[in-house]
Amino acid sequence: MRILITTEATGAVWAYGRELSTALLDEGCSVALVSLGRIPNQAQLDWAAAEVSRRGSQFRFAACDAPLEWMHENWGAMSQGEPLLERIAGDFRADLMVSSQFCFGALKCDLPRVVVAHGDVLSRAQVCRSEPMPETAWLARYRSLVANGLRHADALVAPTQWMLSALAANFQLPRQTQVIAHGRTIPAISGNGQRRLQAVTAGRLWDESKNLKLMADIDPVMPLLVAGEIEHQTPWLTPVAGKAMPLGALDEEELLALFRQSSIYICMSRYEPFGLEPLEPALCGCAVLANDIPTLREVWGDAALFFQDAESLSSLLTALCDDRRLLDRARSCAQHRARQLTARNMADGYLSLLQGILQPAMAGSYVA
């Protein structure tokens, strides 16, 4: 099976594209991965070059700065990305496409097209804002791009049932929909490093959906660390810094090292369409304290400890600080759940779906 996959160079969507591509390659598929939006950084380009060298003709990578549909210059999202994707689809002889951008569900080619809903602007605004979004030309273009892509897609995948339902509240979905949980693989390390009694959280400090302002009201009973980009004015950061230590942006290896040194990860997000944010720290052995929102409940169940506000979060931190057996049990539960969310399981879900689209009569068998 020859699969064209689109991704973007930002955050969780890049991790998803990399993990899915690698797992499908390991299953014997051929993959062309195309990154859109921001040009990939050097570490991302180095990973792609290493995969090309290792996989040969089985893997192809391309990147361009065509805007994404959620960006403010989204007027070019379809027109600038479409020619590249059509050319690669033809040159690569792709059998089908899996797109992380809704708009490419309407790509003008004969390929079956699956779009993946990692999140969307409208459901994010409904969760994070008290007032409706202003009706602007940009928002109208966004709605049109998403609606047109969904209308022409053969199938829609979402990482949670909540995300499917949230999207259905604002758009008409394709007839075929499926929930496939995102998966993650991290490098194993030898030995047991020193783990500190400290809590860490990560995210773009300016992103309202990350809800990091909650840090200002936490009663700190242990060191609190915040890793993330500071690209916008964050006036609330000054009071938070009195209780938590801002670490700035960390690369992937630095972030994993931080997780492996820490005992607790706090997921404060108000909008987390999958719940991928706590997955890496849980794999690294952190207990997960999670904001009590539907997607985190759906993904983590009783493997996480949930809070509703700063007071209940402070109480959880105090309890874990005072009772090391409780902390060890929370760490074990989170890690056990995280190990079920593998890239291999994610790839198997996609292979089953894609087989059914390409060969309905042979959906139960796959020949590489």
Most confident of 172-186, 200-214, 220-234: 172-186
- In this structure, the answer to whether residues 29 and 113 fall within a common structural domain is yes
- In this structure, the answer to whether residues 153 and 237 fall within a common structural domain is no
- In this structure, the answer to whether residues 223 and 304 fall within a common structural domain is yes
- In this structure, the answer to whether residues 323 and 350 fall within a common structural domain is no
The pLDDT value recorded for residue 192 is 60
- In this structure, the answer to whether residues 171 and 294 fall within a common structural domain is no
pTM over 0.85: yes
Is the CB of residue 69 less than 8 Å from the CB of residue 77?
Answer: yes
CATH number at residue 13: 3.40.50.2000
Task: Give the residue among 336, 223, 334, 228 at the shortest CA–CA distance from 288.
Answer: 334
- Picking from 45-59, 99-113, 301-315, 353-367, which range would have the lowest pLDDT averaged per residue? 353-367
Q: Is residue 95 part of a domain?
A: yes
Strands 244-248 and 264-267: unpaired
Q: Is residue 74 part of a domain?
A: yes
Neighbours of 91 (CB within 10 A): 10
How many alpha carbons lie under 13 Å from residue 285 in its C-beta half-sphere? 18
Domain hosting residue 137, numbered range: 2-184+342-362
- In this structure, the answer to whether residues 131 and 238 fall within a common structural domain is no
Q: What is the pLDDT of residues 238-265, one digit of tens each?
A: 444 457 788 888 888 888 999 999 999 9
Q: What is the pLDDT of residues 148-171, one digit of tens each?
A: 999 999 999 999 999 999 999 999
Is the CB of residue 330 less than 8 Å from the CB of residue 316?
Answer: no
- In this structure, the answer to whether residues 236 and 332 fall within a common structural domain is yes
